[in-house]
Chains A and B, each alone.
Chain A
Amino acid sequence: MTEKIYAKYKVCGVNLLSLINRLNKKGITLLKIKKFSAKSIGFCLPINQTEKFFAILNDLCYNDINDSQTNRITVKNPKKKGKKPKRPCFYRHSPVFEGGGYVVYKIGEGGLFYPIRFLQNNLAVLIGAILFTFGVWGFNDVVLDVRYSGTASCLKPQVQTYLSQKGVGKWSRFSSLDLDELGVELTSLDSRIAFAQAYKRGNVLNIELVLSKTPPNKLDQSVVALYSDCQGVITDIKVYRGTAVVSVGDKVNARDLLVDGYCQIKDNITPCTVLASVTINCDYIKSVCLNGQSDQRLAELLVLGELEDKNVIKITTQKTPTEKGFLYVVHAVYSVTVTAG
């Protein structure tokens, strides 16, 4: 494997061809020899031959012309301290070897198996990469956002409510969802939705809703007033047409007028049909006599069974001991929405 990994070197000095020929004679394989300038050359070495390369460099003697006038040649022993070769100061890498008339810079490593060697030498990178991969893989399953698109995205509140009931939302997992089935369920959720599709894109659950082209049921134009059909407290009023005669927090009885069929524009009163919805919180109190001391939940369930079709908001129970057992007074609050139009 080490033959497929090579180190890149840049050598500065004189008589570089002699160095190359000497290395070749010593059996060093030189790859990608390039001449940068008259006194610098670059080449690659198999990583398993670098030790041999430096050993050869260490044993080199070089001829140094000390006196240019006399051209006297002095042979210097590299083991003795001599004149250091001039090092180019612009080069960003520090030299790995200086001597024998040469300055050697290591400018990198490469080769087919270099990535493996890099990971061997940098275990933290390997661990980080593994953790990152697993993190991305695990995080890919999490819903980070739900986006609505399509012509029927105006029905987002209804769809949102339905999805929250199913437990679909932020931080839920894609693996627990059947997106095809969810699309079918959303299509059947409302008659105004012609087509619904849920699909995953990244960590976002995209819900595409297409509005039905067939018009919805026509509005009932005959309603001229909206009356309460139960006794309770008003919690929400939405009047699109008509005039509300009650306000939020008012107590109303059954058959009380809630929204009247007229509109007042400045001083003019114009009769109109009513298009409104009013939500009323109603109370339901029931006393249940049971023998057991811990039958509170049973009493509540009995009441909930009676209010099966109602939207129960709150339920409280008071327990009173009697001669025959316990009297449970269950107080349930449920909401009723009356609509007109």
Chain B
Amino acid sequence: MGFLDDLKDDLKAQGYPFPPKYRVLLLGDNVGYFEKIVGILEFSDQKIVLSLKKGSITILGQGLYIKNFCEGDVVVLGKIDSVVKDSL
């Protein structure tokens, strides 16, 4: 059994929803991979705000741009300083 399956069981046991409503994967400081994104609320070199079904994700950094935006998946490249989940 893999690590993710263990985690899935733990989350279910603790009452957390699985699969999660969104997923964020940061690869170092320069790549951010976001799943289940509904749209883009704000977009600039320093700030990108991605909207979820409930809430939004704010990415702050420098020289940010969206490498790929397809079927709810977003790849953000640039110097990522912070990723913040905002609840609506």
Contact = CB atoms under 8 A, between A and B. Distances in A.
Nearest to B41: A17
A35 B44 contact: yes
A316 interface: no
B21 to A, nearest CB: 18
A33 B38 CA distance: 16
Interface string A16-27: 110011001101
A30 B66 contact: yes
Interface stretch (B12-20, B28-36, B52-60, B67-75): B67-75
A21 B44 CA distance: 15
Contacts, number: 47
B71 A33 contact: no
A161 interface: no
B26 interface: no
Contacts of A25: 39
Nearest to B40: A17
A315 B72 CA distance: 96
Interface residues of A, number: 16
A49 B42 CA distance: 25
B contact residues, range: 10 to 19
B65 A17 contact: no
A17 B69 contact: no
Contacts of B65: 32-35
A25 B39 CA distance: 8
A31 interface: yes
B39 A33 contact: no
A29 B70 contact: yes
B86 interface: no
Interface in A2-51: 16-17, 20-21, 24-25, 27-35, 41
Chain A CB within 10 A, most for which of B38, B69, B70: B69
A30 B70 contact: yes
Given A30-B68, A32-B67, A33-B69, A20 B44 contact: no
B81 interface: no
Contacts of B40: 17, 20-21
Interface in A148-207: none
B45 interface: yes
Nearest to A21: B39
Contacts of B22: none
B43 A30 contact: no
Contacts of B44: 35
B66 A27 contact: no
B75 to A, nearest CB: 9
A35 B40 CA distance: 13
Contacts of A16: 43
B2 to A, nearest CB: 30
Contacts of A34: 65-66
Contacts of B66: 30, 32-34
Contacts of A17: 39-43
Nearest to B65: A34
A33 B43 contact: yes
Nearest to A42: B65
Nearest to A22: B39
Given A21-B39, A33-B66, A33-B69, 8 more contacts: A20-B43, A21-B40, A24-B39, A31-B68, A33-B67, A35-B43, A35-B45, A35-B65
Interface of B: 38-45, 65-72
10 contacts: A21-B40, A25-B39, A30-B68, A31-B67, A31-B68, A33-B43, A33-B66, A33-B67, A35-B43, A35-B45
- By Cβ-Cβ distance, the 9 closest A-B pairs, closest first, are A21-B39, A33-B66, A29-B70, A30-B69, A34-B65, A17-B40, A35-B43, A31-B68, A20-B40
